[in-house]
Chains A and B, each alone.
Chain A
């Protein structure tokens, strides 16, 4: 298998879409199995890797003001470079809605075949994306979803609710295994006004409730290391004893870990979120409170570019019976622990 360089690419593609079967993870192990079957299943399979017609892909994303978005852009570029028949036209990231609209228009004028876009604000860019679709240019909507399916050919993104659910379930299981009867469970959320934070918190709350537990001390940081440190330092002062802590975001997690270290606290377990390389390394080292992180992986940008290429070449996804690529793809928020960290290091992003 390792002799075929194109396999890695396909593995990736398949991995991210493995959800179809309710399947597990974006990890390598499960993908290897899928690969073994790949010749037997589905249309369009084997020859997807063969260079085809050149596809010009336009790419637009918000300003990379934190590691996750930076990784989105980098992943898209890396994936495009892996294809000989893809030309990626990436615009400079912006948090200005009007500028992003202008960028999309100039990409269209450039004659891109497919547009991959992570809108700064899904609502504000819906009309623009719909106009692009009306010009018969397929739009792949990354993560922040447009208001109407008319504005995208395919949506691919993460599952914030399940992130919370999986974090909550993991913590509940750990508490049960440790025999802690009424554990105090803390939460360091991201920016509270964002729907994604609300969904994550709701999933977390629901999963804990299912196990008869509830969220105790809770603070909201701002996805930055500095805010994470500040809020966690205060949280730890308020909660003299903790059993578990979920931190929504590994970027701010660097600060959260620093605060825990400053307070010399180690009586609880911590779970991260998003899946940065740094956190995976710390989980693997297993010498601090962090024991797991739930994925919300920017690898979806790589998948989006692969899908854009297939769209441009009128191909389907290998292993899928459908001749067309799906319209809606949700990546799975796997739980990365010490045991399986090695198989996820490849998609851990630099925070």
Chain B
């Protein structure tokens, strides 16, 4: 975590020249970056790790692991954290960090399931969840961009207060959803595939297009790569930063819908440790914590790796402590593997 702190604190300052040379800015893949090959190699390694884990899963539980229902279950479980990680990828690429995502999920999930909100029906619930996420994210963004509060601190404050507000609103109770329309839609299926998985796919598709094919995405890379250069190039860095955090908040709102659908309830305990899981997934996915470079596909694979690990361990009836150790080892292994490939190319 201290690493995160350091880097995000120096963010508004122009980066030293040496750093700029070493770190290629821009989206991954394709022909547009000189480092395209390197990034693809990273991605290949990640996919290799994921496949290796699936093979382990298949070998240890041949009857169930690759069954349709287990794959669907794993993707459903990956959905909420996956969507949160999309927002986190944008934030980290822009050179920031968002520690408040879990709390924003909790707040949105509670707000959209209060008796008052539920009484207005499913549409208002959805709108409410999205609006609360967006609003909380926007507060983060405004504080960071215009209030000049360091991202680590601003989102740490939101981390505490959003969950606090969620506890207050819910009186620390688990609010059970009774609106059938909401449950039927979000817990149901579309063309044989659960709605949550569709949502995950759509969010990643939109996220990918926005990041790699729009001015907004280009600007995000530019701001994260070198904020001062971006400003001199005519980008409204402050406004863009505010937008990026608002986007992360919106993703939390979407994740809240998913969590509420999955658990049929809203509670201030939802979204615990999402910030850590999301940052881990983003970093494993090859996004630089210092900003300026990253890929959404990597993030998605990072999320899936954790989901698969969780599934393997549960199906083999192993204890959670071993699972946590394995998680840590996988984070380090994945990062080291990628690190060593970039190293060799550089020298």
Residues of B within 8 A of A262 (CB): 73, 76, 187, 262
Residues of A within 8 A of B263 (CB): 225-226, 228-229, 254-255, 258
Contact with A along B312-347 (1 / 0, CB 8 A): 001111011100000000000000000000000000
The answer to whether B319 and A226 have CB atoms under 8 Å apart is: no
- How far apart are A239's CB and chain B's nearest CB, in angstroms? 9
With the chains together, A225 CA to B260 CA distance in Å?
10
B271 beta carbon closer than 8 Å to chain A: yes
Q: How large is the interface on B (under 10, 10 to 19, 20 to 34, 35 or more residues)?
A: 35 or more
- How far apart are A215's CB and chain B's nearest CB, in angstroms? 10
Using CB atoms, name the residue of chain A closest to B163: A65
Contact with B along A262-282 (1 / 0, CB 8 A): 110000000000000010000
A345 beta carbon closer than 8 Å to chain B: no
A238 beta carbon closer than 8 Å to chain B: yes
The answer to whether B317 and A238 have CB atoms under 8 Å apart is: yes
User: Could you list 24 A-B pairs, sorted by A, with CB under 8 Å?
Assistant: A64-B167, A66-B174, A66-B269, A67-B174, A70-B172, A70-B173, A193-B321, A229-B262, A233-B73, A233-B77, A234-B73, A235-B314, A237-B70, A237-B73, A238-B64, A238-B314, A254-B176, A258-B263, A258-B265, A259-B262, A261-B187, A263-B73, A350-B173, A351-B174
A33 beta carbon closer than 8 Å to chain B: no
The answer to whether B73 and A224 have CB atoms under 8 Å apart is: no
Of A65, A234, A263, the contact of B315 (CB 8 Å cutoff): A234
Residues from 60 to 75 in B contacting A, C-beta threshold 8 Å = 61, 63-64, 67, 69-70, 73
The answer to whether A224 and B269 have CB atoms under 8 Å apart is: yes
Given A66-B172, A237-B67, A278-B174, 11 more pairs with CB closer than 8 A: A65-B167, A192-B321, A220-B319, A229-B263, A230-B310, A237-B70, A237-B314, A240-B63, A255-B262, A259-B262, A350-B173
Using CB atoms, name the residue of chain B closest to A224: B269
The answer to whether A226 and B310 have CB atoms under 8 Å apart is: no
With the chains together, A165 CA to B73 CA distance in Å?
32
Residues of A within 8 A of B282 (CB): none
Given contacts A237-B315, A238-B64, contact A226 B172 (CB under 8 A): no
Using CB atoms, name the residue of chain B closest to A251: B174
Residues of B within 8 A of A257 (CB): 264
With the chains together, A278 CA to B178 CA distance in Å?
12
Contact with B along A213-232 (1 / 0, CB 8 A): 00011111011111111110
The answer to whether B64 and A240 have CB atoms under 8 Å apart is: yes
With the chains together, A144 CA to B317 CA distance in Å?
30
Using CB atoms, name the residue of chain A closest to B274: A226
Using CB atoms, name the residue of chain A closest to B187: A262
Given contacts A240-B64, A263-B69, contact A224 B173 (CB under 8 A): no
Residues of A within 8 A of B167 (CB): 64-65
The answer to whether B265 and A254 have CB atoms under 8 Å apart is: yes
With the chains together, A263 CA to B321 CA distance in Å?
26
B272 beta carbon closer than 8 Å to chain A: yes
Using CB atoms, name the residue of chain B closest to A70: B172
Using CB atoms, name the residue of chain A closest to B310: A234
B8 beta carbon closer than 8 Å to chain A: no
- How far apart are A77's CB and chain B's nearest CB, in angstroms? 13
The answer to whether B269 and A217 have CB atoms under 8 Å apart is: no
Contact with A along B269-281 (1 / 0, CB 8 A): 1111000000000
The answer to whether B176 and A65 have CB atoms under 8 Å apart is: no
Residues of B within 8 A of A255 (CB): 262-265
The answer to whether A238 and B61 have CB atoms under 8 Å apart is: yes
The answer to whether B270 and A234 have CB atoms under 8 Å apart is: no
With the chains together, A287 CA to B176 CA distance in Å?
17
The answer to whether A234 and B314 have CB atoms under 8 Å apart is: yes
With the chains together, A220 CA to B64 CA distance in Å?
20
The answer to whether A225 and B269 have CB atoms under 8 Å apart is: yes
B136 beta carbon closer than 8 Å to chain A: no
Using CB atoms, name the residue of chain A closest to B316: A238
Of B268, B317, B320, the contact of A65 (CB 8 Å cutoff): B268
Contact with A along B170-214 (1 / 0, CB 8 A): 011110100000000001000000000000000000000000000
- How far apart are B185's CB and chain A's nearest CB, in angstroms? 14
The answer to whether B314 and A70 have CB atoms under 8 Å apart is: no
The answer to whether B262 and A258 have CB atoms under 8 Å apart is: yes
Contact with A along B66-107 (1 / 0, CB 8 A): 010110010011000000000000000000000000000000
- Of A236, A240, A258, A263, most B-chain CB atoms within 10 Å: A258
The answer to whether A226 and B259 have CB atoms under 8 Å apart is: yes
Residues of B within 8 A of A351 (CB): 173-174
With the chains together, A225 CA to B187 CA distance in Å?
16
Of A226, A231, A263, the contact of B270 (CB 8 Å cutoff): A226
With the chains together, A229 CA to B339 CA distance in Å?
36
With the chains together, A351 CA to B170 CA distance in Å?
11
The answer to whether A237 and B174 have CB atoms under 8 Å apart is: no
Residues from 53 to 68 in A contacting B, C-beta threshold 8 Å = 64-67
- How far apart are B56's CB and chain A's nearest CB, in angstroms? 14
- How far apart are A55's CB and chain B's nearest CB, in angstroms? 27
Residues of B within 8 A of A231 (CB): 314
Using CB atoms, name the residue of chain A closest to B71: A237
The answer to whether B270 and A224 have CB atoms under 8 Å apart is: yes
With the chains together, A326 CA to B307 CA distance in Å?
50
Using CB atoms, name the residue of chain B closest to A235: B314
With the chains together, A258 CA to B319 CA distance in Å?
23
Residues from 193 to 246 in B contacting A, C-beta threshold 8 Å = none
Residues from 148 to 182 in A contacting B, C-beta threshold 8 Å = none
Residues of B within 8 A of A224 (CB): 267, 269-270, 272
B311 beta carbon closer than 8 Å to chain A: yes
- Of A192, A217, A257, A262, most B-chain CB atoms within 10 Å: A262
The answer to whether B70 and A254 have CB atoms under 8 Å apart is: no
Residues of B within 8 A of A64 (CB): 167, 172
With the chains together, A64 CA to B172 CA distance in Å?
6
The answer to whether B271 and A219 have CB atoms under 8 Å apart is: no
With the chains together, A161 CA to B217 CA distance in Å?
56
- Of A67, A225, A251, most B-chain CB atoms within 10 Å: A225
Given contacts A70-B171, A263-B69, contact A258 B264 (CB under 8 A): yes
Residues of A within 8 A of B70 (CB): 237
Using CB atoms, name the residue of chain B closest to A351: B174
Using CB atoms, name the residue of chain A closest to B271: A226
Using CB atoms, name the residue of chain B closest to A220: B320
Using CB atoms, name the residue of chain A closest to B313: A234
Using CB atoms, name the residue of chain B closest to A229: B263
